[in-house]
Structure 1
Amino acid sequence: MIGYRRWGWLLLVASLSCICIATIFPFEFSIPEGLSWQFVIEEFNFGSSVKDYLQNILLFIPLGISLGIVLTPKQPKVWIILGSLFTSAILSTTIELTQFLLPTRVSNLTDIIYNSLGGTLGGVLYYWRIHIIQFFSGILTGNPHKLSLKSLLIAIVSYCSLVILGIWVLLISVNLSNWDEDYYLAIGNEVTGDRPWNGYIQSLYICDRSLNQQEVTKVFDYPDSFFSQLPSLVTSLEFHDYRNLDQDQSQQLPDLTWQKTLSLSAIDNSSDNLAKNIGNKKHLNQTVLFSQERWLKTEEPAVSLNSKLKDTDEFSISLILATNKINQFGPARIISLSDGIYAQNMIIGQQRSDFNFRIRTPITGSNATQPEFIIPNIFSDQSFHHILITFSKKKLRFYIDQPENQYFFEFTPATSFLIYFPWEKRPWIINLQDFDLLKYQQLFYTIIIIPLAILIIILIYYLLIKYLLFK
Structure 2
Amino acid sequence: MKQGKKFCQKYTFFDRGIFTKDILMVFCSILVVLVATLYPFNFSSPDNFSIRKIPSQFESTSNFIDQINNILLFVPLGFSLSSALQKSKIPLIGKTLLVLLGSAGLSLTVELLQMFLPSREPTPADILNNSISGLVGSLCFYLCASQQVTSILTSIENSKLGRSTQKITLFFCGYILLAFAISIVWLGTTDLSGWNPNYPLILGNERTGNRPWQGYISKIYIADRAISKNEVEKVLADENYLKTLGDSLVTSYQFTEKCCQPEETVKSPKLLQKKLWWEQLSENQQGQGVFLSPGNWLETANPVTSLNQRIRETSEFTISTTVASSDIGQTGPARIISVSNGPLRRNFTLGQEGTALDLRIRTSITGENGSELKMRVPNVFTDTKPHHIVLAYSKGKLQVYIDKLSHFYSFRLLDLIPKEQQLFYYAITFIPLGICLTLLTILAKRKIFLYRFLLLSGILLPSLILESILVSENGKSINFKNFLLSVFLTTGTMLVLRLRALMVLKKTAV
Go from structure 1 to structure 2 and tell me whether the alpha carbon gap of 1:249 and 1:351 turns closer, same or farther (over 3 Å shift): farther
Distance in structure 2 (CA, Å) of the matches to 1:13 and 1:255:
53
What is the CA deviation profile of residues 195-216 of structure 1, one whole-angstrom value per residue up to 9, with x for unaligned ones? 1111111111112222222211
Shift of 1:360: 1.3
Give yes or no for the alignment of 1:444 onto 2:482: yes
Give yes or no for the alignment of 1:396 onto 2:398: yes
Shift of 1:401: 1.1
Shift of 1:159: 12
Given candidates 254, 265, 268, the residue that maps to 1:253 is: 268
Distance in structure 2 (CA, Å) of the matches to 1:453 and 1:123:
21
Q: Corresponding residue for 1:141?
A: none
Go from structure 1 to structure 2 and tell me whether the alpha carbon gap of 1:291 and 1:421 turns closer, same or farther (over 3 Å shift): farther
Q: Corresponding residue for 1:345?
A: 347
Q: Which amino acid aligns with 1:80?
A: K
Q: Corresponding residue for 2:98?
A: 83
Distance in structure 2 (CA, Å) of the matches to 1:61 and 1:337:
36
Given candidates 256, 262, 279, the residue that maps to 1:264 is: 279
Shift of 1:419: 4.0
Q: Which amino acid aligns with 1:25?
A: Y
Given candidates 253, 256, 259, the residue that maps to 1:240 is: 256
- 1:229-378 map, 5 Å: 229-231=244-246, 232-241=248-257, 244-262=259-277, 264-265=279-280, 267-268=281-282, 285-378=287-380
Q: Corresponding residue for 1:18?
A: 32
Distance in structure 1 (CA, Å) of the matches to 2:489 and 2:313:
39
Go from structure 1 to structure 2 and tell me whether the alpha carbon gap of 1:161 and 1:54 turns closer, same or farther (over 3 Å shift): farther
Report if the CA contact (8 A) 2:62-2:123 is conserved: no
- 1:65-144 map, 5 Å: 65-71=79-85, 73-78=87-92, 79-130=94-145
Distance in structure 2 (CA, Å) of the matches to 1:252 and 1:23:
40
Q: Which amino acid aligns with 2:401?
A: Y
Q: Which amino acid aligns with 1:99?
A: Q
Go from structure 1 to structure 2 and tell me whether the alpha carbon gap of 1:158 and 1:458 turns closer, same or farther (over 3 Å shift): farther
Q: Corresponding residue for 2:194?
A: 178
Distance in structure 2 (CA, Å) of the matches to 1:286 and 1:322:
8
Give yes or no for the alignment of 1:221 onto 2:230: no
Distance in structure 2 (CA, Å) of the matches to 1:36 and 1:229:
41
* Aligned residues with identical type, % of pairs: 34
Go from structure 1 to structure 2 and tell me whether the alpha carbon gap of 1:11 and 1:248 turns closer, same or farther (over 3 Å shift): farther
**Superposition RMSD on alpha carbons, in Å?**
4.1
| SS of equivalent to 1:115 | helix
| SS of equivalent to 2:332 | strand
Shift of 1:118: 2.8
Give yes or no for the alignment of 1:384 onto 2:386: yes
Given candidates 20, 41, 47, the residue that maps to 1:27 is: 41
Go from structure 1 to structure 2 and tell me whether the alpha carbon gap of 1:230 and 1:47 turns closer, same or farther (over 3 Å shift): same
Go from structure 1 to structure 2 and tell me whether the alpha carbon gap of 1:93 and 1:448 turns closer, same or farther (over 3 Å shift): closer
Report if the CA contact (8 A) 1:77-1:127 is conserved: no
Go from structure 1 to structure 2 and tell me whether the alpha carbon gap of 1:161 and 1:233 turns closer, same or farther (over 3 Å shift): closer
Q: Corresponding residue for 1:467?
A: none
| SS of equivalent to 2:134 | helix
Distance in structure 1 (CA, Å) of the matches to 2:486 and 2:492:
11
Q: Corresponding residue for 2:221?
A: 205
Shift of 1:58: 4.6
* TM-score after normalising by structure 2: 0.70
Distance in structure 2 (CA, Å) of the matches to 1:263 and 1:211:
34
Q: Corresponding residue for 1:154?
A: none
Shift of 1:442: 6.3
Given candidates 49, 58, 61, the residue that maps to 1:45 is: 58
Unmatched segments (≥5 aa) in structure 2 = 1-13, 151-156, 158-172, 426-475, 500-510
Shift of 1:341: 2.1
Shift of 1:96: 2.5
Distance in structure 2 (CA, Å) of the matches to 1:210 and 1:392:
6
Distance in structure 2 (CA, Å) of the matches to 1:372 and 1:158:
38
What is the CA deviation profile of residues 179-206 of structure 1, one whole-angstrom value per residue up to 9, with x for unaligned ones? 1222110011113322111111111111
| SS of equivalent to 2:405 | coil
Shift of 1:448: 3.6
How many residues are aligned here? 416
* TM-score after normalising by structure 1: 0.75
What is the CA deviation profile of residues 281-320 of structure 1, one whole-angstrom value per residue up to 9, with x for unaligned ones? xxx7232211111111110111121122222222111111
Distance in structure 1 (CA, Å) of the matches to 2:34 and 2:489:
34
Q: Which amino acid aligns with 1:85?
A: L
Go from structure 1 to structure 2 and tell me whether the alpha carbon gap of 1:323 and 1:124 turns closer, same or farther (over 3 Å shift): same
Distance in structure 1 (CA, Å) of the matches to 2:229 and 2:50:
52
Q: Corresponding residue for 2:7?
A: none
Shift of 1:127: 3.9
Report if the CA contact (8 A) 2:63-2:368 is conserved: no
What is the CA deviation profile of residues 147-203 of structure 1, one whole-angstrom value per residue up to 9, with x for unaligned ones? x9xxxxxxxx99999987665432343211111222110011113322111111111
Distance in structure 1 (CA, Å) of the matches to 2:100 and 2:405:
55
Shift of 1:357: 0.4
Report if the CA contact (8 A) 1:159-1:452 is conserved: no
Distance in structure 2 (CA, Å) of the matches to 1:441 and 1:72:
43
| SS of equivalent to 2:406 | coil
Go from structure 1 to structure 2 and tell me whether the alpha carbon gap of 1:43 and 1:449 turns closer, same or farther (over 3 Å shift): closer
Distance in structure 2 (CA, Å) of the matches to 1:59 and 1:458:
24
Go from structure 1 to structure 2 and tell me whether the alpha carbon gap of 1:244 and 1:43 turns closer, same or farther (over 3 Å shift): closer
Q: Which amino acid aligns with 2:61?
A: S
Q: Corresponding residue for 1:194?
A: 210
Report if the CA contact (8 A) 2:225-2:314 is conserved: yes
Go from structure 1 to structure 2 and tell me whether the alpha carbon gap of 1:72 and 1:347 turns closer, same or farther (over 3 Å shift): same
Distance in structure 2 (CA, Å) of the matches to 1:84 and 1:20:
17
Of stretches 310-319 and 414-423 in structure 1, the one that deviates more from structure 2 is 414-423
Go from structure 1 to structure 2 and tell me whether the alpha carbon gap of 1:421 and 1:19 turns closer, same or farther (over 3 Å shift): farther
Distance in structure 2 (CA, Å) of the matches to 1:97 and 1:314:
30
Q: Which amino acid aligns with 1:362?
A: S
